[in-house]
């Protein structure tokens, strides 16, 4: 499937939450996590959602990516109403259009970096040659061409996260979601990861949404949303680094 097949019209936000509310119930206790939240996100930008633990940022990420349903409100992704899709259609939408990067890397111990990236492409019904081509290109893009035959135990934390990003990138997703992608990494590796995510947004036109409480990320995002108690407290553009023609921040 071509990357732009379901692309929204230029004037339409890539991701939209409209009056979204979400609560969780535990016993007799009901906790409202999101409160009538409305948000538009545009393609080609890295948006960072920050805020204290329990403020609702990871829940918002799950809802915008279609992993959780809303109690009330609507979510639109690439012009589709996620609430109108049945489970199978929603899974197909996520498979074809979204990529995920998590804090814990989620790599298979027995597979090489190349195999980690190639595996989801096989599940998408891609030809073996195309899957291998994309896996190789994605690993090259994150700077791991020379490490692609190594297994996770032979890679550093930063390299593992770059494999995870390559795995998501190889699908050529229009939407890329990252949940605390730098929290397990030191400063240098964390910087490298956020620079790669920013470059993906700029060079691929991808909508990148990153949830983190890591203060190092704030200056590297195009847009920073600060959440508190289920609401967006502030929404500001950040002075992100300029990306040159080689994809290098300057």
Residues 6+ apart with CB under 8 A from 127: none
CA distances to 31, 58, 114, 212, 233 from 54, in Å: 11, 8, 36, 12, 14
Query: Quick check: is 60 in a domain?
Result: yes
Query: Quick check: is 3 in a domain?
Result: no
pLDDT of residue 8: 52
Range of the domain at 101: 15-237
Between CA 120 and CA 131 the distance in angstroms is 9
Between CA 42 and CA 88 the distance in angstroms is 26
Query: Quick check: is 139 in a domain?
Result: yes
**Each residue's pLDDT tens digit, 48-64:** 999 888 888 999 999 99
Between CA 186 and CA 9 the distance in angstroms is 39
* pTM of the shown model: 0.87
Query: Quick check: is 1 in a domain?
Result: no
**Each residue's pLDDT tens digit, 155-214:** 999 999 999 999 999 999 999 999 999 888 888 888 899 999 999 999 999 999 999 888
pLDDT of residue 27: 85
Query: Quick check: is 216 in a domain?
Result: yes
Q: Is 134 exposed, middle or buried (0-12, 13-18, 19+ CB in 10 A)?
A: buried
Q: Answer for the pair 42, 209: CB distance below 8 angstroms, yes or no.
A: no
Query: Quick check: is 250 in a domain?
Result: no
Domain count along the chain: 1
Between CA 220 and CA 84 the distance in angstroms is 35
The CATH number that applies at residue 166 is 3.40.50.300
Chain centroid, CA 217 distance in Å: 14
Q: What is the DSSP string of 181-207?
A: TTTTS-HHHHHHHHHHHHHHHHHH--E
């Amino acid at each position: 499937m071509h990357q732009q097949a379901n692309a929204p019209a230029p004037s339409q936000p890539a991701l939209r939450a409209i009056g979204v509310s979400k609560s969780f119930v535990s016993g007799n206790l009901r906790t409202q996590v999101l409160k009538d939240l409305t948000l538009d996100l545009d393609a080609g930008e890295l948006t960072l959602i920050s805020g204290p633990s329990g403020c609702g940022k990871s829940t918002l990420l799950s809802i915008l990516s279609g992993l959780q349903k809303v109690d009330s409100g609507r979510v639109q992704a690439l012009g589709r109403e996620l609430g109108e899709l049945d489970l199978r259609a929603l899974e197909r939408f996520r498979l074809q259009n979204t990529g995920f990067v998590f804090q814990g890397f989620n790599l298979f111990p027995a597979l090489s970096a190349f195999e980690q990236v190639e595996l989801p492409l096989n599940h998408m019904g891609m030809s073996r040659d195309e899957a291998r081509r994309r896996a190789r290109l994605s690993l090259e893009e994150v700077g791991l061409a020379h490490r692609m035959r190594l297994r996770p135990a032979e890679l550093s934390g930063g390299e593992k996260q770059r494999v995870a990003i390559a795995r998501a990138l190889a699908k050529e997703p229009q939407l890329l979601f990252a949940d605390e992608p730098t929290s397990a990494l030191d400063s240098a590796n964390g910087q490298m990861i956020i620079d790669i995510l920013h470059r993906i947004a700029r060079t691929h036109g991808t909508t990148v949404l990153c949830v983190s409480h890591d203060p190092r990320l704030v200056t590297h995002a195009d847009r920073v949303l600060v959440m508190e108690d289920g609401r967006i407290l502030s929404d500001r553009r950040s002075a992100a680094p300029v990306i040159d023609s080689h994809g290098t921040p300057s």
